[in-house]
Amino acid sequence: MEDRILQKLQTFFVEANEEEKQALERVIDAVIRKQTKQNGSYIGGILQTSRKVLDDLTYEITIPNTELIQNPLKIVHGGITATLLDSAMGSVVHNVLPHDKAAVTTEMKINYVAPGIGKEFRCVAQMIHRGSKICVTEGRVFRDDGTLIAHATGSFFIIDRPNKK
């Protein structure tokens, strides 16, 4: 496998421009962040998430705006904004659950209200309702100038946490 990866890298570097090399470096850094447990998932590593519990019912995730998350119009891709919202809203639920429980998204509604431009994006999620089977949350994503770019609500089903093998 190492030989195959090295061959791909050699082929890549023959034609790669500086922007493509920077993008590859960001992807490699993302895998290293996951490997060293700086992020819990590869997507968290790619997004370079910085996470913070603001209080028992409020959670914040901040990500930098990089070329890896932009669409061809040079604004953050709507799917990335949705992932940020889902991650923050899910995290606020996970934050209040006992260790033997987990939560999975059952529904999410997003309103995109402004373009995702700027240096970073901050998502703040809050618990609206905590039930024994379903939690309902709200999330908002802001640009670094404070402009709201998206608002969402989400429902999360509470499940037993699978045993790790």
Q: What confidence tens digit (pLDDT) does each residue in 27-72 have?
A: 999 899 889 988 888 888 889 899 999 998 999 999 999 999 999 9
State residue 165's pLDDT score.
Answer: 61
Question: Is the pTM value of this prediction over 0.75?
Answer: yes
Domain ranges of the chain: 1-46, 49-165
Alpha-carbon distances, residue 83 vs 35, 102, 145, 147 (angstroms)? 21, 18, 21, 19
pLDDT in tens, 90-137: 999 999 999 999 999 999 999 999 999 999 999 999 999 999 999 999
- Domain 49-165 is found in CATH 3.90.1300.10: no
Alpha-carbon distances, residue 42 vs 56, 85, 86, 116 (angstroms)? 26, 17, 15, 22
Residue range 73-81: average pLDDT? 96
Q: d(Cα 118, Cα 130) in Å, to the nearest integer? A: 34
The answer to whether residues 78 and 67 touch, using CB atoms and an 8 Å cutoff, is no
